[in-house]
Amino acid sequence: MARHYKIILLSLICFILLSACSAKPDTGTEAAPVPMENTGSDRKPPEESASDIPQTSPSEMRESGQSTPEHYAAVAEEQTASVNNENNDTEWRDDLEVDFTHDYSEKIQAEIDQVVSSSTSLQNELENVETMIQKYKLLAEKAQTQSEMNLSSQWFYTIWDTELNNLWSRLSNSADQQTKEKILADQRKWISMKEGAVYELIGSSEENGSLYPMLVNACLESITRNRAYVLANELAKVKEESFAMPEKKYGLYVDNQGTGDIYSSLVIRQGEAGDDEAVFSLFRMGEIRGTVVDNGKGELSFTSNDSGTRAIKGILKINGWDGASFTITEAPDGAYTWYIGKTMDFPFAF
């Protein structure tokens, strides 16, 4: 019997304790709805409620080494800053998941607008765009498949294409009519030749297989970046700002005969063995490949890959963003003999 009363007494005590723990003060308002859990890549840790913070005075907490309310406020401020940084894209979290199929063009447009408005000069603006490129490269490094690499490589082209359009808009609004018409004519030629320039630089899709989309995007990124610097330089002249163009040696130079078509081209690049290589595609004459040796002051000695007396030799002069020229000094009997001593110009630099 005593045991029976003990069980009843224990049950009663448990009921009273459970009732006390679950009791809530009546605030006169309905309880706020519980937010849905965020399972996306921007998931944040749950906010601390008042019951999670030690209910002791600040002085007691400092003496005991516990975190004070000021500490919690500082932590909250730091977490808010971290979230703001992520939203403003000043840095990326290492655990950020990337959707490679997402269209980032609107996000890139907003970031370019921010770069333009916050930059102190055109030189500073281009530097900030370069920084923006590096940030996106950190995201691109998360690509695991060739398809993801192909998709992410388009971001960089989109960034420079967006900057290029922004520069042109400002240039067309501020330049005098004569300057605007000249630059517009060159810009139209550049747009018309852009597809052909990609082919001259990387070849066809059949030659490159599954890498082709990534190579196309990388090539478009490079030539669009270069064109952005050209327009920025022109805009700097209009605004009477100082602007330093990057050094131009490698890349594509074309003879377009003043049109939007490529007649002849010159590509200078580093060869597989580390030597500088030049490839000429000459109108109605064919292709010449060879190595170049830098003589300094923008002059390069060229020797074709043909053996012995069949080799074609000449002098390349690089005029940076004003183009390049090639003069044949030696050639075997045949199609190129007539060109000895003559200079071929490639005035349009990509």
Residues 267-275 have a mean pLDDT of: 84
Residue with the bigger pLDDT between 233 and 40: it is 233
* Nearest Cα residue to 265 out of 277, 248, 245, 279: 279
Look at residue 95 in the predicted model and tell me its pLDDT: 59
Angle between helices 212-239 and 177-202 in degrees, nearest 10: 160
10 Å Cβ neighbour count for 263? 14
Residues 6+ apart with CB under 8 A from 192: 260, 261
Percentage of the chain modeled with pLDDT above 70 = 72
Q: Which helix (H) or strand (E) holds 296?
A: strand 286-296
In 3-state terms, the chain is what percent helix, strand and coil (to 5)? 50, 15, 30
Q: Say how far apart CA 39 and CA 251 lie, in whole Å.
A: 46
Greatest mean pLDDT range, 17-31, 148-162, 335-349: 148-162
Please check the confidence at residue 153 and state whether its pLDDT lies above 90. Answer: yes
Q: What angle do CA 126, 170, 159 make, to 5 degrees?
A: 40
pLDDT in tens, 165-175: 999 999 999 99
- What pLDDT, on a 0 to 100 scale, did the predictor assign at position 29? 37
Which of 59-68, 230-239, 270-279, 335-344 is the least confident region? 59-68
Query: pLDDT tens digits, residue range 208-250?
Result: 999 999 999 999 999 999 999 999 999 999 999 999 999 999 9
- Tell whether the model's pLDDT for residue 44 goes beyond 70: no
